[in-house]
Structure 1
């Protein structure tokens, strides 16, 4: 029995181009404009529920990125950079809040910029008041998770870009059995494409069953 290990299908690096925007087109356009070299707005804040693509966009911006879930004190945040990014602000410890507050105060003098992300808008985060005020002074955009219909349409479009046609029955089968975040769906699509090419077989429900099945542990 052949096991297709999806971990062997590396995900494409996050970029603005491969972010599936759905109803987030305005936020994506605003972020692209903010990243322009002549933009002097120091702060750009993205908020929204898990799975909306906040981390994808932070990683896509070629910023010096820190994750407050992994480093709540922001101890590894570099002291010099043209573009910083801090993800998961809700996880900041007291010391990390001080570091971030001081960084924001330095931004205008250094012409630096800071991209931030959290589950909630600045005013609702459980952070020190002066930091919340600073965070809310920049551009603030909400990201919304894709609906299932938007994900289905996006998956079909990604397949067409590969020269594949996924029938509604195939998409229904996948959605009933695999994680529905776009990163997992995109990774799975590459695996299906590879399996189909290797075996010279069209994409069908029997082929999907083979792709998704796992062999017993050895």
Structure 2
């Protein structure tokens, strides 16, 4: 017998990325405080470092909104378009800067942006998962500037933040979960916000495909599967 499964479509609403939706915690307190004081950034530049799912995109999104900044991914940068991104006295966010070393033209563009931001008194915020030494940069001048860039890091989440993030992830997808599931997940999963995002997405897909509510058994099976794939 061939068992058919429901075709699933991702109809979830986009994640809420306003300041009001951000979850302050000890893990992100230093980063939040630093981003709220761009006037004291050395030369108006800052590098925000944190692992997958730690909140870099959320922080960058509302920082950009509040400071009138443009947002671009490093991999999409092109040298001939860099001049258009930097406004006099403005602000610019480049996300996933750790991808610059693997995208054609991105290193040259980032180097050009660095110089333009200095000349035009434009704030520059970069986000990355790792420090510049791990980006695979080839241009020596860019590497030296990235190495010298002031940094602030997002720390690992505590149990309270992990629980709050799980609640938000389920809410963003409009998913109801059984009582006690959040507490059970916090006790049994690594304190990894990237894993939390993948797990909630996987549970949503499984529930939609099977036309069934989310259960602890589903959560446990998917958690084991994702943990094995990450190992």
* Pairing 1:181–2:196 present: yes
Please name the residue that 2:107 is paired with.
97
Give the whole-Å Cα distance in 2 for the aligned partners of 1:76 and 1:100. Answer: 11
TM-score normalised by length of structure 1? 0.63
Count of residues in correspondence between the two structures: 189
SS in 1 for 2:130: coil
> Aligned pair in 2 of structure 1 residues 173, 53: CA closer, same or farther (>3 Å)?
closer
What does 1:54-203 align with in structure 2 at a 5 Å threshold? Answer: 54-60=56-62, 61-62=64-65, 63-69=69-75, 71=76, 73=78, 77=82, 78-81=84-87, 82-92=90-100, 93=103, 95-127=105-137, 128-153=139-164, 155=166, 167-169=179-181, 171-172=183-184, 181=196
RMSD of aligned alpha carbons = 4.3
Please name the residue that 2:33 is paired with.
29
Distance apart, 1:13 and its partner CA: 3.7
Give the whole-Å Cα distance in 2 for the aligned partners of 1:49 and 1:134. Answer: 22
TM-score normalised by length of structure 2? 0.60
Alignment gaps of 5+ in structure 1: 189-205, 213-218
Alignment gaps of 5+ in structure 2: 1-5, 171-175, 204-211, 219-231
Structure with greater helix share of residues: 2
SS in 2 for 1:114: strand
- Asked whether the 8 Å contact 1:43–1:135 carries over to 2, the reply is no
